[in-house]
Structure 1
Amino acid sequence: MRPGKRLHPIQIIGVGLKGPEGLCPEVLDRIQQADLLVGGRKILQGFRGFPGQRFSLDGHLKGLDSKIHHAVKLGKRVVVLTSGDPNFFGIARFLFKSFRPEEMEIHPHVSSMQLAFARVRIPWDDAAFASAHGRDLLSVIHTVRSRTKVAVLTDPKNHPSRIARALLKAGLPDTTVYVCSRLGGPDEKVWQGNLSSLTGKRFPDLNVMIILNDRAGEEGFGIPDHVLAHDKGMITRSEVRAVTLGKLRIGPGHILWDVGAGSGSVSIEAARLARGVTVYAVEKSAKRISMLKRNILRFGSGNIRVVRGEAPSVLKGLADPDRVFIGGSGGHLEEILRNAVRRLCPGGRIVVNAVTLETLHQTVAFLKKRGLSLDVVSVQIGRGHDLKGKVMMQAENPVFIISADGS
């Protein structure tokens, strides 16, 4: 339960590398008046003269909300110290889950991002931001691939050298990068070079990367089939993929199940269509899973979750979908459709691609029986081939695309 009205709001205070010396008198007074002072071990070391109780986070937030709740109920003043701006990839997001905004007061310090761009003398109002702190690097790769100016918060595991290697491995250009370390401290440093010259270098743990990629956004919608790793032509062709994605109508924040994801061509394109999309790419073949992961690394983003296993059993642990695409069923089409209809969020949509009349009939019959509104289109592509210097059109097999709106 969230606490009711309290006498003393929780004070969330941003601190720089200079510690107390970098804070204004008003903020220092709030710290001195606190009964409970919360913060990381290094930040708390700068406040050795604090007379009240301390609570060290020690790299995790477990138990913090309950500790604060208990202190507040006893009428104590609570101050939470954090680095930089608490609202920027900071602790404020965590605390908003347990406390109402009016129960907190936030006092930001200059963020590391602000300092980094100031030191390299580059405007930052058009920059994108990513955090590698405790996360995989796919979201960083996607952001750098799609944006020309990206700032990245690193951590000891995902350090600048490792991030540079991951970006180059993903096929990004050997572009300009800055590493700004120990910002705001007496020993701050700014390094400039290319990604390739960064690999192998070591920096202090506290640093920010700024990556400039003039070639960002070159890979837009419609990835050519030949550049995607796939199993003997087992891929949703780009023309069919375009119609399929149009029928899915992916929107911001949607959750998509891509069942029978194969090489991931639909998953990858869908993940790029709107902000905040999460894609679950479900595939049972180990060989295709390997290709799927390679394609995600090359073209994808951090919002694709690879799920290895056979549907419908592996669908149990997934979040309820707003959109479901079935490109392959492994002989379990009705069971998969039954799960999709049952789990589909309000306003949801199901799209099935069928290459045989039997699959078309089975899908239409199942969805009609459940009273869903149907749309069926047949897509047949004719592809031009060279014939002694002339162009001859050769037809490919038709694909039936069945769309249904949930109840």
Structure 2
Amino acid sequence: MTSSLERQVLRKISWRIVPFIMLLYFISFIDRVNIGFASLTMNKDLGFSSSVFGFGAGIFFLGYFLFEVPSNIVLDRVGARLWIARVMVTWGILSVAFAFIKGENSFYALRFLLGVAEAGFFPGIILYLSYWFPARRRAQVVSLFMAAAPISTVLGSPLSGALLEMHGIMGLKGWQWMFILEGIPAVLLGFAVLVYLTDRPEKATWLAKEEREWLVNTMNAEHAAKGARAHHSIWRGLADLRVLALSLIYFGTSAGLYTLGIWAPQIIKQFGLSTMNVGLLNAVPPTIAIVAMILWARHSDRTGERTWHVVIACLIAAVGLALAGMASSVVTVVLALSLVNVGISSAKPPLWSMPTMFLSGPAAAAGIATINSIGNLGGFVGPSAIGWIKDATGSFLGGLYVVAGLLCLSAALTLVLAGSQRRSQSVAETTNT
């Protein structure tokens, strides 16, 4: 039964932490995928083919992959406040620099460097939340944090569409203004992080003494309760087969997420709409996804069930991708993309509640970063495959089928992992008795 002190503390830390990190992720996601809107005019200005654009958009995740684990290990050692501030300032500067790309090479280089700069932000926040919120509340909190991604599409799509209309002001193209004006907030918020964020509950002077003691004791007890079944060292976190399985599951969801972020504007644009109308319609599917994601995560927390919450959501997204490829009107494509958004967004909170159930300390930092870095390679494979296949066939259909297949694989691997976990627990219980 939840005590009044527990409710009070969780309410206070939720209001203190969650809205702020949602704002950070909101800006992060806009800067990561606004390239999709830029492509509506930038590709023609710079002479980019679909394959060039798809590869450049995806190469972000190669830089992300290479630096993700080191970045998260550094965060665990120096603290979230300092490291997340560094991440935001550097990615904001690079985002602004996109306004001045001249061709393929500068496009590829900046996308790669943006991935390097942003490496560690998302898994760092997931790790950070595990310092503050008990495991039984984590999926719901993660869902609120991750709701910033679809919210960024809801608000960012019409904003990006409007900024593209600034063509010619002060001699700059609309897409150049978009990169400049959407990159500056990350730099400003980086300095805000230094002032606002608190590294650990022990340092939370904004909590009353009784509240702080309850939170510290609760999180320490949860950490101790993992005991022998939790892995604590960096190498254990990297070597755990469950980490590899979760990485492959996340690979499919990332392929779906960044297919949406990078290619959805062009998928909608093919029906002959203006950039402003594309921005407005592209905001509809994630609006639906925000509500579905939060309700799905609450149900997962209430029932304590994770596996089927991931499996069903992945399959819904796969069906949506297949339907989007066959859509013959703007209405049907928006409905199909709504299914994809709902499935992708709903799969992630229960999925991200799994690693900290068997990892803690440096192992959690390394394990979460490994899942995110390997998994986010799907963000390279999905968008790149769509670009290559579209150039070869003239259609989005084949590429969307590929990404749908990756999501079906994620669903299957989730079931395999769950079965393996049940067998391991059964063996452990038999041995103990």
Q: Could you tell me the TM-score, scaled by structure 1's length?
A: 0.22
Report the structure number with the largest CA radius of gyration. 1
Q: Could you tell me the TM-score, scaled by structure 2's length?
A: 0.21
| Larger strand proportion of the pair | 1
| Larger helix proportion of the pair | 2
